[in-house]
Amino acid sequence: MSGSDGVVSAFGSDPGVGSRVAEAGAVDAGAAGGLARPEPVPAATGVERLADAFAQAAAESRAALMPYLMGGYPTLAESQCIGEACAAAGADVIELGVPYSDPLADGPVIHAAGTQALAAGAGLAGVLEVARALAPRVPVVLMCYANMVFAPGVEAFAERLARTGASGLIVPDLPLEEAPAALAACDAHGLALVPLVAPTTPPRRMAEIGARARGFLYTVSVVGTTGERMALAERFAEIVARAKAATAVPVALGFGISTPEQARQAADAGADGVIVGTRLVRAAGEADDPAGAVGALVAELAGALRRG
């Protein structure tokens, strides 16, 4: 991965997003096939729902648990079941990935899951239907790459996303300098445009990013892509403190967190939210019952965050 901030930089790292349009707007064949009929879309804005989720977790003296799942993996219907299992097991927010052929922020496990989902015909339209089905139960933040947002136009994309009831949007390859139009469109539709910061983000740039953050500040715990790692906790407090000094929104720590112990360490370091992805995606791919396996792991993570 490249980027001026050393990993996925604030609002991404690649200033050439405007020209990457080849894959944007792709529509799945039978996108909604097999998906359960969603409940009515919540009336509160996405920004408000995220604020409420973090406030509820704080009121319970714990960090918010924020599992990541790949939309369309192993199938669209199964990914919806996984999301429902996450919500039932204690997820406060769900990060829902859209499969993409060149995911600069993703490590090998999530990359492989996205490749499989694409090969099975999943794409933006189908994943938005998963978001629509999950949104009444739990705030959903969509993670996708910039060409999906820019090709149809940021206003059209934000309107389409808001209609699903999703709460926010993460665009890892959207740099700070190219974020204003997307931020304005998300603001207009009540969506949180969530930026990322890295351990190597310079203080002045981090302050600029933090001032524009909506929903939460996605704080990357390591330099590199997503994936499971053995020992990270010694730097958690420093990384979280830097992020909190730069923003008024909650700080969520992610990348490399995979075990209940690491999740608890991130919370003890002051993180308002803990994001776990690769471990859950790997479980979804290995299990005969993906939703059951992921739900069990999320329950363990939730238990670790509740431990006083």
Number of domains in the chain: 1
In a domain, 283, yes or no: yes
CA angle 267, 114, 236 (to 5 degrees): 20
H/E stretch holding 236: helix 236-244
- Residue whose pair of structure tokens reads 């629509």 in the numeric block: 132
Phi, psi at residue 217, to the nearest 5°? -105, 115
Question: What CATH number did the domain enclosing 134 receive?
Answer: 3.20.20.70
In a domain, 8, yes or no: no
pLDDT of residue 234: 77
User: pLDDT for 42-87, tens place per residue?
Assistant: 568 999 999 999 999 999 999 999 999 999 999 999 999 999 999 9
CA–CA distance, 50 with 213 (Å, rounded to integer) = 13
CA–CA distance, 90 with 244 (Å, rounded to integer) = 25
Full residue range of the structural domain in which residue 142 is found: 17-29+43-306
User: pLDDT for 221-230, tens place per residue?
Assistant: 876 444 444 4
Output the CA–CA distances (angstroms, integers) from residue 140 to 54, 177, 230, 297, in the order listed: 13, 26, 28, 19
In a domain, 2, yes or no: no
In a domain, 186, yes or no: yes
Output the CA–CA distances (angstroms, integers) from residue 195 to 40, 49, 147, in the order listed: 28, 17, 16
Strands ordered across the beta sheet of 273-276: 192-194, 168-170, 140-143, 94-97, 64-70, 273-276, 251-254, 217-220, 196-197
CA–CA distance, 199 with 109 (Å, rounded to integer) = 23
In a domain, 9, yes or no: no
List the beta strands (DSSP E) in the chain. Answer: 64-70, 94-97, 140-143, 168-170, 192-194, 196-197, 217-220, 251-254, 273-276
In a domain, 98, yes or no: yes
Q: What DSSP string runs through 27-54?
A: --TTTTTTPPPPPPPPSS-HHHHHHHHH
In a domain, 90, yes or no: yes
Its pTM stands at 0.86
User: pLDDT for 242-288, tens place per residue?
Assistant: 999 999 999 999 988 999 999 999 999 999 999 999 999 999 999 99
CA–CA distance, 132 with 161 (Å, rounded to integer) = 9
H/E stretch holding 207: helix 203-212
Quick count: other Cβ atoms within 10 Å of Cβ 221?
26
- Residues annotated as catalytic (active site), given as ranges: 95, 106
In a domain, 289, yes or no: yes
List the beta strands (DSSP E) in 129-180. Answer: 140-143, 168-170
User: pLDDT for 127-169, tens place per residue?
Assistant: 999 999 999 999 999 999 999 999 999 999 999 999 999 999 9
